[in-house]
Every structure is written in C-alpha cells, then in structure tokens.
A and B are shown apart, each in its own frame.
Chain A
Amino acid sequence: MLSSAALLAATLATSGLSAKEVLPFIADDYPKALAVARAEKKPIFLETWAPW
C-alpha cells in the first residue's frame, strides 16, 4: 500500500494539469482526492455531475 505522501507524489507527477485550468479537478477518483486532501490538510470540494 502506498503511503499518503507517496500517493501524493504519484498524483502530482501524473495529474498532467493543463496551465489553462483554473481549478485543478481530479476526475472520478475519490481515493486519490481523499489522500491528497489528508496530506495537504485541505477540505475537498466535490462536484457531482451528469453528462446530460
């Protein structure tokens, strides 16, 4: 199992955020968001949406 810090490092390395994004959303990955939020001590903003 990855530690939170390792997961965070992996997340940051693979998130591939484009410079144009204002809010760096993580898509469809709650465990990843939870790990980052706990590591960074930040609340999660969750947007639930449907593609229609």
Chain B
Amino acid sequence: MRAFVFTDKALGRQAGRFVWLSINTEKRENAAVLAKYPIQASPTLFVIDPVAEKIVLKYVGAATVPQLQRILDDGARAAGHGRKGRKPDELLAKADALYAAGQTKEAAEAFRAALKGMPTSSPSYPRTVESLLYALSVSRQHEACAIVAKDAFPHLKSSPSAANVAGSGLDCALSMDKAVPSRSALVADLARDANQVLTGPRKGLAVDDVSSLYLTVAEERDSAGDAAGKQKVLEELASYLEAEAAKGKTPDARAAFDAHRITAYLALGQPERGIPMLEQSEKDFPDDYNPPARLALAYRGMKKYDEALAASDRALLRAYGPRKLVILNARADIYDKKGDPALARKTREDALAWAESLPKEQVSERQIAALKKQLETPK
C-alpha cells in the first residue's frame, strides 16, 4: 500500500478529511499505541474518533485505491463527519465497533446481520463481506467462512475484492476438518472461483491479493496430492511477480515485490532465482534489514550456509523490534543445518533474551513459549 496506494492522486479528495498517521509496529516507542489499538495482522487500518480516542472502523489487510475510498467514506460517516443527508448504516457501525473491540465472534454475527439487509450493489457490500470473512476466519468458523465466500463471490467476481474473497474462502475451506462432509464440495467450488480470478482480467486487483491467491491455490493442489499442479501454479506466480516488478519505475516499486517473490522461489525450490533481486535491493536500500535477511533464507535454501550466516550478520546489524526474533530464529536453523548445535543453541538463547526484552504488545506469549520449548528439547 505504501508504494502504490497512498501515493495515488485519486485519494487527493480525501486528504483534508482526516489527520493521517502511520505507525511502524516494529518500533519500541510505538508499543503504547499498539496497546490502545491492538492488531492481529499487518497492515491494519483504523479510523479513530480523536475526542473519545475510540475506533470507529477497522480494516485488516491491504486495500486497493477504490477499497480505501470506501473505507474512508464509511469511516468519515461513522465518525460523524460524513456528507449531510446520508444516514450511517447502524448495523454496519455496530459490527465495526465490535470488530474494533476485538470481539470477533460477536462482530461476525453483527456483520452477517448487516449483510442481510444490504443490497449486493451497496458500496459497503464488498468491505462488509471481507470483514465478515476475516472475523469468521479469526474465530475459527471455517465452514461458515467458506460458505459466505462461495455465496458472495458471484456478486464480487468483477470487483477489487474478488481475489481476497475467493482466496479467504478457499483458505477457510482448506482449514476445515477433513471429516466434515461439505469440505470437498466447498474446496472444489472455491478453487474454481479462485482459478476464475487467476485466469480472468486482473485489472483493479491488488498484486498482494493475487499473489496470496496463487499461494492458496498452490496449497489446494498440494492438499489434493497434485505435486505437478502445485509446481505449475507456483511457476505462474513467480512469472507474474517478475512481470509486476519489471513494471516498477523506481527501486521502491520494484522491491515492493521482494517478499512475495522470495516466498514463491523458496516454495518452488529455486531459491537461487532470488539472489540477483535481493543483491540489488541491498544496494538500493543499505539501511534496510529485509534484503540481507531474505538473502540468508535464499542461501540457506541453497545449502550455502556460510553465505547465509554472512547475510544474517548484515541483517542483524540493521534489525530492530520483533523482526529481529525472526532473523535470529532463521539463524539458529542455519547453524542446525550446518551441523553446529552449540551455536544454534546460543543463538536461540539470544533470541529468547531478545523476545523477553520486547514490550508485550510486540511479542506473543506463544512465541516465547515456543523458544523455551526449543531450548528444552535436546537435539
């Protein structure tokens, strides 16, 4: 969003309606803001009433320009700053409030109620469906989530939400217990919808959403035991991302796809394919820990452990916040693979000490428990 959405001139009409605040969730000094406005995923977008310091709208995930326009219009209205003569949708506002309060199960019910009386042509329909899908998925109501996605897809197949709706639905269907009778039909229906998005015109779809959709379709092929099919999907994803990156006119626009590309190359078993782009990104962004952290993963995949450790050294020099944990965990794994259990253990101890030094808003108890467990398990 930072490279492509917030810089779009079409958003100019919104500039004077809000005070715009960006918070880097990895910085220690931002922990207090996260305590006030907790997030489960990044990015999460909020509209906040500054008088009561109350969230009036929350949206999880990246948005395209038209989606963001909708979020902003709904948010301004919910905050009492909408255009005159337009009544706020009370059911939707109630759902937004529950969702913002982290009551995802209750929010799911409220979004469902809001959706009931809402025409599919309503400008709020796509956002309501997406929020309902997220709330159902987070509250582990996988079957309900898959059914909502399947029913909504025909209305949204030509919208910017198509990839997200098909992908979230398919992901939910795949997460269902295999013993549930409706699972296979839901997987098949949503895989068909997902493929319809991937083979259709992609105008207006966010690259992030399309990329995630490819990964979900690859997972579906994997779960069906179709190794060749999975490889074909991942190869298409890699080519797609390479073409999108090639369109980028600035280093920022090109490197915006590095994370998705290295994920695709690692899944394909072709980590070496990511080396040139990451070396270029490390030159273009010398203060950014991401390119060397990703190079460490690529070299680990290539079994070049000394190069992986050298890249990890460079990443650690620049890393801060919770991401440093991820880099230290990967480093411990590199030592394991290299056959150096003593340094692997030492690195995990460093990781645990780092985790315990982070504000509680930036590290989960689950992460700390996992590190402790790894240290207790004899190798």
Task: List the interface of chain A (C-beta within 8 A of B).
Answer: 21-30, 33-34, 36-38, 40, 42-52
| Contact partner, B42, options A21, A25, A48, Cβ 8 Å | A48
| Contact partner, A49, options B20, B24, B36, B76, Cβ 8 Å | B24
Most chain A CB inside 10 Å of its own CB: which residue of B19, B29, B37: B19
B25 contacts A48, CB within 8 Å? yes
**Distance from A18 Cβ to chain B, minimum over Cβ atoms (Å):** 11
B22 contacts A44, CB within 8 Å? no
A49 contacts B37, CB within 8 Å? no
Interface of A, secondary structure class, is mixed
- Chain B residues whose C-beta falls within 8 Å of the C-beta of A27 in the assembled complex: 22, 24
Q: Determine the distance from Cα of A47 to Cα of B276 in the docked complex, in whole angstroms.
A: 31
Question: Chain B 22-38 against A: per-residue CB contact (8 Å), 1 yes, 0 no?
Answer: 11111101101110110
B46 contacts A34, CB within 8 Å? no
Q: A22-B7, A25-B21 are in contact. List 15 more A-B contacts (CB 8 A).
A: A22-B6, A42-B19, A42-B50, A43-B17, A43-B19, A43-B56, A44-B48, A45-B21, A46-B45, A47-B20, A47-B43, A49-B1, A49-B2, A49-B42, A52-B26
Interface of B, secondary structure class, is mixed
A52 contacts B50, CB within 8 Å? no
A43 contacts B15, CB within 8 Å? no
Can you list 19 A-B pairs, Cβ within 8 angstroms, ordered by A?
Answer: A22-B6, A22-B8, A23-B15, A24-B20, A25-B20, A33-B50, A37-B19, A42-B50, A43-B47, A43-B81, A44-B19, A46-B45, A47-B6, A49-B1, A50-B24, A50-B26, A50-B43, A50-B323, A52-B323
B43 contacts A26, CB within 8 Å? no
Most chain A CB inside 10 Å of its own CB: which residue of B32, B39, B46, B75: B46
- Chain B residues whose C-beta falls within 8 Å of the C-beta of A42 in the assembled complex: 17-19, 50, 81
- Chain B residues whose C-beta falls within 8 Å of the C-beta of A23 in the assembled complex: 6, 11, 14-15, 20
* Known A22-B8, A23-B6, A23-B14: A33·B21 in contact at CB below 8 Å: yes
Q: Which 9 pairs between the two chains have the least Cβ-Cβ distance?
A: A37-B50, A43-B79, A33-B21, A37-B19, A45-B18, A46-B46, A44-B48, A25-B20, A50-B42
A46 contacts B76, CB within 8 Å? no
Q: Determine the distance from Cα of A32 to Cα of B290 in the docked complex, in whole angstroms.
A: 29
- Chain B residues whose C-beta falls within 8 Å of the C-beta of A37 in the assembled complex: 19, 48, 50
| Contact partner, A22, options B11, B51, B75, Cβ 8 Å | B11
B370 lies within 8 A of chain A by Cβ: no
A49 contacts B43, CB within 8 Å? yes
Q: Which residue of A lies closest to B75 (CB)?
A: A43
| Contact partner, A43, options B11, B33, B76, Cβ 8 Å | B76
B53 lies within 8 A of chain A by Cβ: yes
- Chain B residues whose C-beta falls within 8 Å of the C-beta of A28 in the assembled complex: 22-24, 27, 29-30
